[in-house]
Amino acid sequence: MAETFKFELVSPERLLVSEEVEQVQVPGAEGDFTVLPRHAPVLSVLRPGLLDIGAGGAEHRRYFVRGGFAEVGPAGLTLLAETAIDVAELDAGMLVAAIKDAEEDVADATLDMVRDRAQTRLDHLRQVRLALGL
């Protein structure tokens, strides 16, 4: 059996993942890095990208993450993400429709605050599309 470490993925809404894993590829601000058991302590800001979790053998789960940071320490890896979306739950058609709706919201906004919020949502959706290569 391969050696594992504790991994937790936390979003503002809830704890998404809390389990023993073999490796995690993290989209760090300075570039992607892979965390393995007994990794040296690291603190990294996240950039928008794909988080790849290797739990055993060929089993991998991927999340789109945006904002937040990753901390590697003696207890394992904790990743606090402003946004974390399970790639398995994403539908390309729904993503395209959401981008179109967000573009319309930006165009229709009359107040700066509303436009800024709509633009942030649009930028987020475009980052998801780019990260997934859609």
Query: b/e per residue, 101-123, with b = 16+ CB within 10 A?
Result: ebeebbeeeeeeeeeeebeebbe
Mean pLDDT of the chain: 87
pLDDT at position 89: 82
Q: In terms of domains, do 59 and 107 share one?
A: no
Give CA–CA dist 73/78, Å, rounded: 8
**Are residues 38 and 17 part of one domain?**
yes
Q: What is the domain extent for residue 105? A: 91-132
DSSP-derived letter for residue 134 is -
For residues 65 and 96, membership in a common domain is answered with: no
- My answer on whether 24 and 82 are in the same domain is yes
Q: Which of 77-81, 93-97, 109-113, 121-125 has the highest mean pLDDT?
A: 77-81
Neighbours of 54 (CB within 10 A): 19
pLDDT of residue 53: 94
Same domain? 61 vs 76 = yes
Could you tell me if 75 and 18 lie in one domain?
Answer: yes
Same domain for 19 and 83:
yes
Of 10, 7, 104, the closest CA to residue 55 belongs to 7
